[in-house]
């Protein structure tokens, strides 16, 4: 009979062999997908048209990857610095904004979450974010980020909600914590209190908000900065509650919410696990990652560099908590051929026949108009094309405007009516009668006979 020690050794060898074979079999495939994603992201860094937007999440993702094209990353970094210099960083130094819909109001500044992502992208490129030169000015971006978070905190105290969203509030908290800056205890306390109230994960985008908050709280949980000790207890309880919320949203196929929220949820749960939050019953994200690799190969993320940039850290099994570990020394510089063997796109249909779609534009807040039109577009058209066709038929009732964003064109105005984001208004996109679309104007492909609605509402 084998001795217990001997049996254990044999078992360990067997497990090691098994693990090795499964890890060795999978990555060949997965690293091809990762490389293809890196190539799509690198291609997306080249300005295409006037709607091109320099998105800091793209640089964060590229910097976290194991393979690089350093020249293209540097050139994108330059563009990012130019965008940052144009933004209204400080109340005392207004930026120059050319698009009237983008013009900051008096006293309005770069939103907290955008600044947080910029700061993370700069740190991931090894720039000193506490003492940067932007054009002629020296700035402490962490100090400015701290001010932005303070404005969010005060808005919660006075108005019961952040100036922007808890998504951005959490990004700002996360970036300060990740970069080892102190975070105002009252800001932390307010984030933790909000997190404890997020029971069910209902509501638009609440899983994405929960994920960003969980990364922030996991980072805070791991720091010795939390004072008083009651705050540490509140943070631990809030992180636990958000982790349970996300775990409770898992589907059998590995999804946590929709495909886009799955990418962020896996990162959040990974961060939580690393900080000692109890995630028992979680498979470490294996099922979700398999699901996301398949979605990436099927081209579900390809149209939107913003979505792909949020996905890449998940495919790599990493999170933004790894940003401080980037040294920029001895980086790989091997990705020069940007053509990919593996194409991350759905098979394109080559026939296109006319389809009919009803489009309805309605002011769901002031009830000043409710216009419908039937348009004919080629099959395979996106919703943007439908809005263009409607506008061409009746420029008065169906005029619209968009602004560039990391997820493509964002609908800001319909029939002359602007959604005022300061009042938390937006043009919601619906499949009639009331199903919110899971993609925007550029990425949503319409079907014959569909009835689509742009409805002014609040979030
Ligand atoms: C907050 C948020 C909103 C807020 C934005 C308001 C605000 N001023 O903050 C509201 C509720 C208005 C909103 C609306 C929509 N959203 Co939204 N939103 C988010 C969320 C949770 C965070 C975005 C953010 O703040 N990023 C941080 C800031 C610093 O980065 P940013 O680049 O400046 O962010 C801006 C853009 O992302 C833009 N935006 C927000 N949502 C969307 C969606 C689309 C399609 C576009 C083009 C732009 C856009 O508003 C942000 C703030 O200014 C993301 C989640 C995620 N994973 O990214 C979903 C997310 C981007 N939204 C999504 C969707 C589907 C929508 C809607 C189409 C829903 C609908 N059926 O109407 C609409 C957009 C309709 C339109 N008018 O074009 C999807 C996009 C998926 C995809 N691949 O296209 C995401 C990924 C959520 C998800 N998990 O599915 N959204």
Phi, psi of 218 (to 5 degrees): -65, -40
Closest approach atom of ligand 1 to CA 402: 78
Percent of the chain with pLDDT over 70: 87
pLDDT given for residue 203 in this prediction: 57
Residues 270, 279: Cα–Cα separation, whole Å: 9
With a 6 Å cutoff on the Cβ, whether 167 touches ligand 1 is: yes
Closest approach atom of ligand 1 to CA 117: 29
Residue nearest atom 61 of ligand 1, based on CA coordinates: 407
Contact partners, residue 174, CB within 8 Å, separation at least 6: 116, 212, 215, 216, 219, 320
Residue by residue, DSSP assigns 383-431 as: HHHHHHHHHHH-TTTT-EEEE--TTSPEEEEETTEEP-GGGTEEEEEEE
With a 6 Å cutoff on the Cβ, whether 436 touches ligand 1 is: yes
- Please tell me the distance between residue 408's alpha carbon and the centre of ligand 1 in angstroms: 10
Mutate to test the pocket of ligand 1, among 116, 410, 431 (most ligand atoms within 8 A of CB): 410
Q: Is the pLDDT of residue 322 over 50?
A: yes
pLDDT band at 292 (very low <50, low <70, confident <90, very high): very high
Residues 15, 21: Cα–Cα separation, whole Å: 10
Q: What is the mean pLDDT of the chain?
A: 88
Closest approach atom of ligand 1 to CA 421: 8
Q: Which residue blocks in 223-359 are alpha helix, DSSP H?
A: 229-248, 259-274, 286-297, 305-316
With a 6 Å cutoff on the Cβ, whether 125 touches ligand 1 is: no
More confident residue, 257 or 5: 257
Chain centroid to CA 436: 18
pLDDT band at 53 (very low <50, low <70, confident <90, very high): confident
Q: What is the pLDDT of residues 191-201, one digit of tens each?
A: 999 999 987 65
Q: What is the pLDDT of residues 156-191, one digit of tens each?
A: 999 999 999 999 999 999 999 999 999 999 999 999
Residues 189, 389: Cα–Cα separation, whole Å: 49
Residue nearest atom 29 of ligand 1, based on CA coordinates: 114
With a 6 Å cutoff on the Cβ, whether 206 touches ligand 1 is: no
- Please tell me the distance between residue 150's alpha carbon and the centre of ligand 1 in angstroms: 23
More confident residue, 223 or 451: 451
Mutate to test the pocket of ligand 1, among 120, 207, 440 (most ligand atoms within 8 A of CB): 440
Question: Among the listed ranges 89-98, 225-234, 340-349, which one has the minimum average pLDDT value?
Answer: 89-98
- Please tell me the distance between residue 406's alpha carbon and the centre of ligand 1 in angstroms: 9
More confident residue, 94 or 269: 269
Do residues 116 and 152 lie in contact, with contact meaning Cβ atoms separated by under 8 Å?
A: no
With a 6 Å cutoff on the Cβ, whether 264 touches ligand 1 is: yes
Q: Is the pLDDT of residue 329 over 50?
A: yes
- Please tell me the distance between residue 301's alpha carbon and the centre of ligand 1 in angstroms: 15
Q: Is the pLDDT of residue 27 over 90?
A: no
More confident residue, 335 or 227: 335
- Token digits of residue 435: 């199903």
Q: How many CB atoms lie within 10 A of CB 15?
A: 10
- Please tell me the distance between residue 326's alpha carbon and the centre of ligand 1 in angstroms: 29
pLDDT given for residue 341 in this prediction: 81
Closest approach atom of ligand 1 to CA 55: 32
pLDDT given for residue 340 in this prediction: 85
pLDDT band at 5 (very low <50, low <70, confident <90, very high): very low
With a 6 Å cutoff on the Cβ, whether 310 touches ligand 1 is: yes
Residue nearest atom 33 of ligand 1, based on CA coordinates: 114
With a 6 Å cutoff on the Cβ, whether 459 touches ligand 1 is: yes
pLDDT given for residue 451 in this prediction: 98
pLDDT given for residue 422 in this prediction: 87
Q: Is the pLDDT of residue 9 over 60?
A: no
- Token digits of residue 405: 């964003």
Closest approach atom of ligand 1 to CA 412: 77
Positive or negative: CA dihedral 439, 255, 379, 36: positive
With a 6 Å cutoff on the Cβ, whether 414 touches ligand 1 is: no
pLDDT band at 302 (very low <50, low <70, confident <90, very high): confident
Q: What is the pLDDT of residues 384-428, one digit of tens each?
A: 999 999 999 999 999 999 999 989 999 999 999 999 988 999 999
- Please tell me the distance between residue 3's alpha carbon and the centre of ligand 1 in angstroms: 60
Residues 345, 297: Cα–Cα separation, whole Å: 7
b vs e for 167-178, b when ≥16 Cβ sit within 10 Å of the residue's Cβ? bbbbbbbbbbbb
pTM of the predicted model as reported, rounded to 2 decimal places: 0.90
Give the mean model confidence (pLDDT) for residues 272-286.
Answer: 95
Residue nearest atom 30 of ligand 1, based on CA coordinates: 114
Q: Is the pLDDT of residue 77 over 90?
A: yes
* Alpha-carbon torsion angle 421, 423, 429, 432, nearest 10: -170
């Amino acid at each position: 009979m084998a001795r217990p020690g001997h049996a254990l050794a044999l078992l360990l060898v067997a497990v090691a062999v098994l693990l090795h074979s499964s890890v060795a079999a999978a990555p060949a495939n997965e690293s091809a997908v990762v490389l293809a994603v890196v190539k799509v992201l690198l291609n997306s860094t080249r300005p295409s048209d006037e709607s091109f937007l320099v998105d800091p999440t793209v640089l964060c993702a590229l910097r976290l990857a194991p393979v690089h094209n350093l020249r293209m990353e540097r050139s994108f970094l330059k563009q990012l610095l130019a965008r940052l210099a144009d933004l209204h960083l400080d109340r005392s130094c207004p930026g120059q904004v050319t698009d009237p819909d983008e013009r900051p109001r008096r006293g309005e500044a770069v939103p907290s979450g955008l600044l947080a992502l910029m700061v993370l992208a700069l740190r991931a490129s090894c720039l000193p974010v506490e003492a940067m030169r932007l054009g002629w000015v020296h700035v402490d971006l962490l100090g400015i980020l701290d001010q932005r978070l303070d404005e969010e905190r005060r808005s919660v105290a006075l108005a019961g909600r952040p100036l922007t969203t808890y998504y951005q509030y959490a990004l700002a908290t996360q970036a300060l914590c990740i970069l080892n800056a102190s975070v105002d205890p009252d800001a932390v306390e307010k984030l933790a209190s909000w997190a404890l109230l997020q029971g069910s994960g209902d509501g638009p985008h609440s899983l994405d908000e929960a994920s960003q908050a969980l990364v922030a709280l996991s980072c805070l949980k791991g720091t010795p900065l939390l004072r008083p000790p009651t705050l540490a207890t509140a943070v631990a309880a809030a992180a636990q509650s958000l982790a349970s919320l996300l775990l409770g949203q898992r589907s059998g196929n590995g999804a946590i919410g929709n495909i886009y929220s799955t990418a962020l949820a896996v990162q959040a749960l990974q961060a939580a696990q690393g900080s000692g939050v109890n995630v028992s019953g979680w498979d470490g994200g294996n099922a979700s990652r398999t699901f996301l690799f398949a979605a990436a190969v099927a081209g579900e993320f390809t149209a939107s560099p913003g979505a792909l940039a949020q996905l890449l850290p998940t495919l790599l099994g990493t999170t933004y908590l790894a940003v401080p570990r980037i040294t920029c020394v001895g980086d790989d510089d091997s990705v020069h051929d940007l053509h990919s063997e593996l194409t991350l796109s759905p098979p394109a249909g080559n026939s296109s026949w006319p389809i009919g779609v009803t489009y309805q534009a309605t002011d769901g807040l002031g009830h000043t108009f409710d216009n419908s039109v039937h348009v004919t577009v080629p099959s395979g058209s996106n919703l943007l094309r439908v809005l263009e066709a409607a506008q061409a038929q009746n420029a008065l009732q169906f005029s619209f405007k968009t602004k560039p964003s990391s997820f493509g064109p964002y609908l800001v105005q319909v029939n002359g009516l602007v959604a005022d984001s300061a009042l938390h208004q937006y043009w919601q996109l619906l499949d009639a009668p009331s199903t919110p679309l899971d993609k925007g104007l550029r990425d949503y492909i319409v079907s014959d006979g569909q009835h689509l609605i742009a409805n002014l509402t609040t979030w």
